[in-house]
Amino acid sequence: MGAILSSERVERRLAAILAADVAGSCRLIGIDEEGTLAQLKALRKTLFDPKIADHRGRIVKNTGDGALVEFASVVDAARCANEIQRDMAKHNTDVPQDKRIEFRIGIHVGDIIIGEDDIFGDGVNIAVRLEGIAEPGGVNISDDAHRQIRGKIGIDCDDMGPQVLKNIAEPMRVWRAHIGLSSSLTMLTKSPTEMAQPLAPPDKPSIAVLPFQNMSGDPEQEYFADGMVEDIITGLSRSKSLFVIARQSTFTYKGKAVDIKQVGRELGVRYALEGSVRKVGNRVRITGQLIDTATRLHLWADRFDSPLEDIFDLQDRVTSSVIGAISPQLERSEIARAQRKPTESLQAYDYYLRALAGLYRVSREENIEALKLTKIANGLDPDCALSYALGATCYIQRKMFGWSTDAAEERLEARRLARRAIELDKDDPAVLAMVGDALAYVVGEVEEGAALISRAINLDPNHAIARNWSGWAHLYLGEVDAAIEQFHVALRLNPLDPWIYTVQTGLACAHFFAGRHEEASSWAATAIGQQPNYIAAQRIMMACHAMSGRVNEARQACVLALRLDPTQRIAGINDKSPYRRSEYLDKLARAFRLAGMPE
């Protein structure tokens, strides 16, 4: 038996792996096959191969338009990548944009398996996937590699956060190297949006519904076009066979000239739906086009005309048509589930949409106005569950930002609205998600709130807000690992969410309670960078500083938190966040006491 085991033993070693390939090589070869191949051969001979040799690398194999290189030191690998990209940028100075050869590079350090003339293993796979999401002229570095080079070479890096890599089980933290003046000219001229890293599409059909253009000529009707898109997103999201990007991410493209390929890369989707809404008098016309983001091929296009009073039937027909175009195999039950009408009263629905828009703007005044609008909607249509649920959500936002004026009275009102919404509709994922969080966070009925949110996810696995609130519910119940999992799903479903700081703060809290204070500090800092007025982010940052021995920083964070909400006291910790585990409350109390929060 020992001899058998010995004969099957494979050779392994720790190594730094550099994966490189030419961005858009198929396009370049299609334009000029012989010229492109000749340029590649010359660049390898005069630039790429000499740089590898200078930094003691070993070219394991060339892949036609790329290469796999092994280094004994990740410092050498990073320096080599930087010099290659710097010299490539110089080479491309006078080359037309459509004829430039630009490398993408990924670097990882890890365990590899040595073959006769090849290398294998996760260390290799991760480097290749990092290269695949790099910008042309860019360098992506894994978190493991970044730890090894930090402070050792003069290259700054941007933290891209956790990234989903194809065929890699868990999201991985990735860093983007600052090549600076040595980066490709393409990178230097791109806007921040264009610099966003591509996300790998999931295995199932994925779609982003882009903001429809308002063709009515009346800016006051903008909310109508936006509401139409939101309803289509909601309808599509109820299909478990689809991966649907959330409204907050797709609406970052509103009012901009959109490149469909860029949308596909930034949001990680195979398809995009775009269109327009023209509302004239009592009639409305909707046009829509379903586009393959990789090829820009129009897969489906249609036009719908309807009297305004039949608007919900029109929405159902658009949604059903899109589902059918993406996957004809979807069962009729999935289409039927997408045919849910929020209310039969268009006027009430108008008020609901306007209230929702107010909450997205995040201010005390807009919150008060949104609450008023939900009450008007409830008066016009007493059976609209969404309006009651949105009213309860107004109280969530009031507590989140310290805007409450009478906490006890607001708890009662939030509970009343939540109960009424559930009485009216127990099967709408949006209602269940909003009501569940209101009951858990505002009212303190955590177990029931968690159950409602779980039902929302069962009905609509792509509901990003439900995933976020589910993370918080798990946190309140002391289930840290489950919370982290839900928060990461929320990030993937809604990578451009304007409220992403709530997810980042949830991750900070989860890592804090797990004892990973530095990881928690990183997430808290990211959240504060997104929204400095979010009290929960300031509080958890204060706690991280305190428990890490950075008492001065903790006291400074305490001053900021108290400035946002002067009523905060150690005795009221459980009122701010209804944690069920006493050790969580005790740990926060110790941290806040060190930071100087009043008892």
Per residue in 406-424, pLDDT (tens digit) is 999 999 999 999 999 999 9
Task: State the virtual CA torsion across 48, 51, 55, 60 in degrees, nearest 10.
Answer: 20
The average confidence (pLDDT) of the chain is 82
Confidence (pLDDT) at 321 = 56
The pLDDT tens digits of the residues spanning 116-169 come to 778 888 889 899 989 988 888 889 999 999 988 887 777 778 877 777 777 777
pLDDT over 90 at 318, yes or no: no
pLDDT at 330 over 60: no
Is the confidence at residue 188, as pLDDT, over 50?
A: no
Q: How many CB atoms lie within 10 A of CB 64?
A: 11
pLDDT for residue 434 is more than 90: yes
| 351, 377 Cβ separation under 8 angstroms | yes
Q: Specify the residue for token string 């494979």.
A: 10
Furthest C-alpha separation in the chain: 86
Q: Is the pLDDT of residue 356 over 60?
A: yes
Torsion, CA 476, CA 508, CA 108, CA 24, rounded to 10: 90
Cα angle vertex 515, ends 509, 516, to 5°?
A: 75
pLDDT score, position 454: 95
Do the Cβ atoms of 282 and 307 come closer than 8 Å? yes
Helix (H) or strand (E) holding 69: strand 66-71
Q: What is the pLDDT of residue 284?
A: 77
Among 206-215, 255-264, 399-408, 575-584, name the one with the lowest average pLDDT.
255-264
pLDDT greater than 80 at residue 479: yes
pLDDT classification of 546: cutoffs 50, 70, 90: very high
| Domains of the chain, first to last | 12-188 (3.30.70.1230), 206-337 (3.40.50.10610), 345-460 (1.25.40.10), 478-599 (1.25.40.10)
pLDDT (0 to 100) of residue 418: 96
What is the C-alpha to C-alpha distance for residues 387 and 374, in angstroms, rounded to an integer? 5
What are the residues facing 104 on neighbouring strands? 21
Opening angle at CA 574, ends 572 and 577, nearest 5: 120
Amino acid at 395: Y
- pLDDT, position 5: 39
pLDDT of residue 243: 82
Higher pLDDT, 397 or 38: 397
Which of 246, 162, 252, 239 is CA-nearest to residue 200? 162
**Residues 166 and 129: beta-carbon distance below 8 Å:** yes
> Whole-prediction pTM value?
0.56
Residue 59: DSSP 8-state: E
CA angle 316, 320, 322 (to 5 degrees): 120
Tokens of 232: 């289509």
SS3 track for 139-161 = EEEEHHHHHHHCCCCCCCEEEEE
**Average pLDDT estimate for 13-30:** 84
DSSP state of 287: E
310 pLDDT tier (thresholds 50, 70, 90): low
Q: What is the pLDDT of residues 493-543, one digit of tens each?
A: 777 777 899 999 999 999 999 999 999 999 999 999 988 989 999 999 999
| Greater model confidence, 199 or 576 | 576
More confident residue, 573 or 453: 453
The pLDDT confidence band at residue 8, using thresholds 50, 70 and 90, is: low
Q: What is the mean pLDDT of residues 164-191?
A: 61
What is the predicted pLDDT for the residue at 567?
A: 87
The SS3 assignment for 214 reads: strand
What is the H or E stretch that residue 553 is in?
helix 551-564
Break the chain down into helix, strand, coil percent, rounded to 5.
55, 15, 30
Torsion of CA 125, 128, 129, 130, to 10 degrees: 120
